[in-house]
Structure formats: C-alpha cells, structure tokens
Amino acid sequence: GQNIDQPTEMTATEGAIVQINCTYQTSGFNGLFWYQQHAGEAPTFLSYNVLDGLEEKGRFSSFLSRSKGYSYLLLKELQMKDSASYLCAVWELTGGGNKLTFGTGTQLKVEL
C-alpha cells in the first residue's frame, strides 16, 4: 500500500524560493512525479524522478532520496501564477499494470 504525506498549505512571497516536501512509504516504488493543478483545471506534469538526486528544469527542480522515502519540489523566482496545488505522486507497479498514487496536495499561495 501507499502512504504519501505533504503539507496541506504553504504561503510564499513573489520572487522568493519555496520548497515543498513529500514523504512516502510504498512496497513497489518505481518513480515519483510532481504535478501542478490550478483551481478548476486538470493536473499537469512538472517532473519525474526515478534515481536519487536533483532534476532541474528551469525555475522548478525536484529531488529524490529513495532510501529516505523523501522528495521535494523547489520553486525559484516565484510568480503569482505559481499559486496552485502541487501534487506528489508515486508510481507503483502492481500485479497487472502501473498506477500513480497521489498525495493530498500542497496548496501554495504566492503573495506580493
């Protein structure tokens, strides 16, 4: 089974850096995704980590430590449009296929 934890809410200032943490416990880990979801919209892909270390993509970076069951999403130079929910999701390989199990999401509010 899966247990994925992330903070419910965070607030940060425009131009700042924010780190959103995610911890997970799983029996069949095959990778970790971060998705962004604006209110009333579908989740959209941000990043994927399967090996330990940091993946950088523009203003967004994602880190994974498989031994610690830990990941974080780092957002730099925050913009107002970054206000959204950020979903940590673990890819689990089940008996017949694969599935993403999502955390409850972190609602990020970016303020002036």
User: Would you tell me which residues interact with another protein (CB under 8 A)?
Assistant: 31, 33, 35, 37, 41-45, 48, 50, 85, 87, 89, 91, 94, 96-102, 104-105, 107
DSSP state at residue 39? T
Q: CB of 86: closest distance to another protein in angstroms?
A: 11
- Main-chain phi, psi angles of 59, to 5 degrees: -80, -10
Give 21 or 107: the residue with its C-beta nearer to another protein. 107
Give 13 or 38: the residue with its C-beta nearer to another protein. 38
CA proximity to 43, closest of 74, 89, 109, 80: 89
